[in-house]
Chains A and B, each alone.
Chain A
Amino acid sequence: MPFFMDTDKLVTLEEAAGRVRDGDVVALGGGLSARLPMALVRELVRQGRRDLHLVGSAHGIDVDLLVAAGAVSVCEESYVGFEQDLGLAPAYRRAAEGGDIRLAESCCVTMLTQLRAAEAGVPFLPVRGVKGSDIRRLHPEYAEITCPFTGEVLIAVPALSPDVALIHASLGDRRGNLHFDKPYVLDERFASASQLVIATVERMVSTEEVAEAGVTVPAHLVTAVAEAPFGAHPTSCYPEYAYDRNHLRDYVAAAATAEGASEYLAHYVTGAPTELAYRKLVGEENLERLTGWDKSTHAWKELFA
């Protein structure tokens, strides 16, 4: 929301995640199996963050891992899961069914509208849908409003300015200029509606290189930036690498029980004190395989077969 004027925002991953406080409303960038800010998510778990209120559009292992680690009190995404491929999100499902998190399920359009209100500096904006849906029951803050011009009754949704947005990008510079490919999902909106924007990038490069690739989120919106190679793993960060379907499948199988989820966390997250240690656990050969998606259609298909 405010502009960030520092000319050097390069920090370590530990410092970057350290900007998130217990109880924050945290916006998660990316979507489904792509460009989720996983290095930051893992670091938040290592640092023992608690009571987070997550917002986002369609999410998967990022939310599930934070919920499994007991870091979350409220979930306000529009979807959490692994699609038809791997099914429901195990830890999220368990926590929801056990009443351990508050379900504030939202809708992509509603959230987009709420962020736009924050960006425009107005207290609310209307949406035409939501009526007739029980989603409204999960949001007592939504109100009805009569249009002063047409008399139409619409649903007014309040401005949403997350305390912090976590975004993972392909390229970035020390100033905080970020480049990443489409689909941008809500990342651009999160970047300009949030109080703080914490970014990780696959590669830290010169300003000229980011400019040449195209600036997706400009430096003045970014608070801090850390370098985190494979920072979206096991989700994809094209053109660098495809998503690691085997790892995701193993995660979903492990997280089917609370014990299995704890073992996953103990092995891959708290048991790997740094991202370098995490990459070693995942295996360099395996990561290399994911970067080979563009060798041939056959090679790409093989990753998902």
Chain B
Amino acid sequence: MTFTIDEWFVVTLARTIKDREAVFHGFGSPCAQVAMHVARHTHARDMLLVEGATYAVNPEPEFIPPTGNDLALQHRAVYQLRFEEFFDAAIRGDIDRMFLSGGQIDAWGNTNVTAVGPIERPKVKLGGGGGGCNLAATIKNLTLWTTRHGSGRTLVEQCDFVTDMGHRTKEGTRTELGFTGGGPEWLVTELGVFDFPQGRARLRQTYPDVTLDQVTDATGFSFEVAGDLKHVPFPSAAELAALRSVDPLGVRRQEFSSTELKRVFEHGSGASCAC
């Protein structure tokens, strides 16, 4: 069975979710959105899935539309949280995981979705952070992701503007600032996967068509490499089937450049289980 990088990437995101976690994604995040449904249909059947901008609880969409605020995303949800119900829960610390991305991400997992360049006269005004600058403080674990690592402009030494705090900024560490959430746990990119021991990004896995040099060249900060650096585990047949079923329009592909989408893979002999 062949599969493409967008599929492998989404499955990798999905695997950062643990069963029985309450999980949320922001709007404008098709990959994270699809990943949550993949997780709920495979290894995390009893997660509590809070759907982006509709706040629907455990919906069963027949397709993922290209916007985060569409009725299609509430399909078969027994309940839709009110705006304040969701944010209160998140600020109290009852939400276990959130997916966050950024135009810039630094080694401490700080993210910038506000502006590239000086804020007074930005070079690029990005969309903005939604609820992130409060949510990132209190949600238990964050899964960060970007599909633009290869551009060399996304993983940077220092964010021009910190919209959502990771493990440490000029103002101090999470503990010093009194934040109750654990901060970034994973950073998944189209080149590999980082974790954050001591709060700083460390490379744990790469895709098999990517070399360590490629990752180093594309990354604006120095990073430790795990002693047991591995390849990202293959997606299973069940994960791919769930993904293709939940995202027939392929909205996940919007996050990738057309060049990236040409990356096709196949389960080799002896590859991970296809159960």
Contact = CB atoms under 8 A, between A and B. Distances in A.
A211 B200 CA distance: 55
Contacts, number: 205
B150 to A, nearest CB: 17
Nearest to B123: A97
Contacts of A297: 62-63
Interface in B109-151: 114-115, 119-138
Interface stretch (A7-15, A179-187, A192-200, A260-268): A179-187
B65 A304 contact: yes
B137 A131 contact: yes
Given A88-B127, A189-B84, A132 B65 contact: no
14 contacts: A33-B67, A79-B128, A79-B130, A92-B125, A97-B121, A105-B129, A108-B87, A109-B90, A129-B91, A132-B137, A132-B172, A188-B82, A189-B83, A305-B249
Interface residues of B, number: 65
Contacts of A79: 27-28, 127-130
Contact of B27 (A32, A129, A133, A293): A32
A33 B73 CA distance: 13
Contacts of B255: 84
Contacts of A127: 91, 134
Interface of A: 31-34, 57-58, 77-81, 83-85, 88-89, 92-93, 96-99, 103, 105, 107-110, 112, 127-135, 137-138, 152-154, 181-186, 188-189, 236, 238-239, 242-243, 245, 293, 297, 300-301, 304-305
Contacts of A238: 71
Contacts of B6: none
Contacts of B126: 81, 88
Interface of B: 27-30, 53-55, 62-63, 65-72, 74, 80, 82-84, 87, 90-91, 114-115, 119-138, 161-165, 169, 171-172, 174, 177-180, 248-249, 251, 254-255
A20 B73 CA distance: 34
Contacts of B72: 300
A184 B129 CA distance: 20
Contacts of B62: 297, 301
B190 to A, nearest CB: 14
Given A93-B124, A238-B71, A112 B137 contact: no
A94 B65 CA distance: 28
A31 B69 contact: yes
A183 to B, nearest CB: 5
A89 B115 CA distance: 13
A97 B119 CA distance: 9
A135 B129 contact: yes
B248 A96 contact: no
B138 A129 contact: yes
Nearest to A135: B133
Contacts of A112: 83-84, 87
Given A33-B67, A133-B165, A97 B131 contact: no
Nearest to A110: B134
